[in-house]
Amino acid sequence: MTEKLFYKDQYIKEFTANIVEVKEEEGKLLLLLDKTAFFPGGGGQGSDTGFIDGAKVIDMIEEGENIYHVVDTKPKNLENVICKIDWENRLDGMQQHLGQHVLSGCFFSIFNTNTAGIHLGKDISYVDIVGHIQQEQIIKAEKAANKAIGENHKVTFLITNRKEAKAMGLRRELATSDESISVVKIEGLDINACCGVHPGTTLELQMIKIKGVEKHKGNTRVFFLAGNRAVEEFLNRSNILDELCIGLSTGADETVKSLASLKNSFNEVREENKKIKIALAEFETKDLVDKGEKIGEITLINKIYDGENMKFLNRLSDKLTLEDNIVILFATKDSDKANLLFGCSKNLKNVNMGNLLKDSISLIDGKGGGSPALAQGGGKNVANLQNAMDYASRILKESLEA
């Protein structure tokens, strides 16, 4: 039976213990200590990591009253081995877990809505609150949770029996049939069955930040950050806001208005740009036809653009091929990619743009395809683009002159 130091003092970072068993199971090396401060996980909280006599603890396994430590190598010693917990990982787990209890307690005490489930993730955690919660309720619960943090409520842990646990007025019904029940109490806020490890006061949470909500199976899933995660998020966002204020030459309170004004201006410019593009397309269409190569009654338009938008080239192609006897070979390139767009008028039945593009695009190490009337694709061998276009032009002329 392993003595559980983490329930006696959750702040133990380093301790000395004896290794009483070493075994291998399913390719894993397991160590059993006579006592441990390594928390094996529970209540949704992950297990601890750290070191035992230099051997890295990578996981924990509970077998009855024994707690085995999964390590990457066998320690040199068996007695009085020094064990060190990865405290950053442990503190993060405790903060996220207590953060969940505080949020659940606030939703319950303010709105009488209980918790249906939780998940404590490596990057973000969530709590599922019963029913559909409105945005104003979310904001109110977040403010209440951070107020509770500042009030420095005491957090206590105890192990009792089922009868006594039920008499305590737990927030949720017991989900286990075990006789021994672990209870976590946040003084004046919440009491619930839980086998996790938590900070001793709410003040150690520092802050809670709700990151988003979504509907989930008839309930409301509330995503949150707590402790150091929330503080880091706040500092990062504060730095971003400062940069925005400098860029917009405005105060923090006016940033939203400035961004809205900037967005309106951008939309106006985009609409104006769209009109200009349409006008340019009209001009470009006439210019391309006038300068196109005449092959009998057919006009071949062959052009390579620098950094042109494919949507614009598609619109241009559609407009050009509305007229009979038009074949277009378009390409656009930038520093690391080239795109091809081949098209023809619907009245031309003796050419196949899909086949032509598949043959040509291999010269730029690309892929693509399409129909007999329109095909497109891209490749990375930009240096060979001109050769690919010359090849397409030559094959097309041979088919037209045949």
pLDDT by residue (tens digit) across 382-398? Answer: 999 999 999 999 999 98
- Rounded to whole angstroms, how far apart are CA atoms 75 and 17? 12
| Tens-place pLDDT, residues 134-152 | 999 999 999 999 999 999 9
Q: Which of 346, 359, 347 is nearest to 398 (CA)?
A: 359
Q: Output the pLDDT for position 243.
A: 87
CB contact at 8 A, 103 and 222: yes
- Rounded to whole angstroms, how far apart are CA atoms 91 and 186? 18
- Rounded to whole angstroms, how far apart are CA atoms 99 and 155? 12
Pairing of strands 180-186, 298-306: unpaired
Q: Which fold has domain 3-85?
A: Elongation Factor Tu (Ef-tu); domain 3 (2.40.30)
β-partners of residue 213 are 222
| Tens-place pLDDT, residues 244-268 | 888 888 887 888 888 888 888 888 8
**Cβ of 29: how many Cβ atoms within 10 Å?**
18
Does 114 score more than 90 pLDDT? yes
| pLDDT band per the 50, 70, 90 thresholds, residue 372 | very high
CATH class of 91-235: alpha beta
- Rounded to whole angstroms, how far apart are CA atoms 216 and 244? 35
Does 51 score more than 80 pLDDT? yes
Pairing of strands 28-33, 19-25: antiparallel
Buried-exposed string 34-73: b where 16+ CB fall within 10 A, e elsewhere:
ebbbbbbbbbbbbbbbbbbbebebebbbeeeeebbbbbee
**Cβ of 155: how many Cβ atoms within 10 Å?**
23
Strand order in the sheet with 19-25: 14-17, 81-85, 50-52, 55-63, 66-71, 28-33, 19-25
Lowest mean pLDDT among 36-45, 64-73, 170-179: 170-179
DSSP 201: B
| pLDDT band per the 50, 70, 90 thresholds, residue 177 | confident
Q: What is the CATH number of domain 292-401?
A: 3.10.310.40
Pairing of strands 115-119, 125-129: antiparallel
Does 207 score more than 80 pLDDT? yes
Mean residue pLDDT across the chain: 93
CB contact at 8 A, 323 and 344: no
| pLDDT band per the 50, 70, 90 thresholds, residue 343 | very high
| pLDDT band per the 50, 70, 90 thresholds, residue 298 | very high
Q: Output the pLDDT for position 175.
A: 81
Query: What are the φ/ψ torsions at residue 200 (nearest 5 degrees)?
Result: -80, -15
Helix axes 228-248, 255-291, angle to 10 degrees: 60
CA contacts within 13 A on the Cβ side of 140: 11
Q: Output the pLDDT for position 104.
A: 97
- Rounded to whole angstroms, how far apart are CA atoms 46 and 59? 9
**Cβ of 188: how many Cβ atoms within 10 Å?**
13
**269 vs 358: which has the higher pLDDT:** 358
Does 24 score more than 90 pLDDT? yes
**49 vs 319: which has the higher pLDDT:** 49
Pair of tokens at residue 217: 């199976």
Q: Which of 174, 198, 169 is nearest to 184 (CA)?
A: 198
Residues 174-196, mean pLDDT to the nearest whole number = 92
Residues 365-392, mean pLDDT to the nearest whole number = 95
Query: What are the φ/ψ torsions at residue 29 (nearest 5 degrees)?
Result: -95, 120
**274 vs 227: which has the higher pLDDT:** 227
Q: Output the pLDDT for position 402.
A: 64
Residues 195-210, mean pLDDT to the nearest whole number = 97
Does 180 score more than 80 pLDDT? yes
Q: Output the pLDDT for position 254.
A: 84
Does 283 score more than 80 pLDDT? no
The pLDDT > 90 percentage for the chain reads 78
DSSP code per residue over 326-373? EEEEEEEE-SS-EEEEEEE-TT--S--HHHHHHHHHGGGTEEEEE-SS
- Rounded to whole angstroms, how far apart are CA atoms 255 and 247? 10
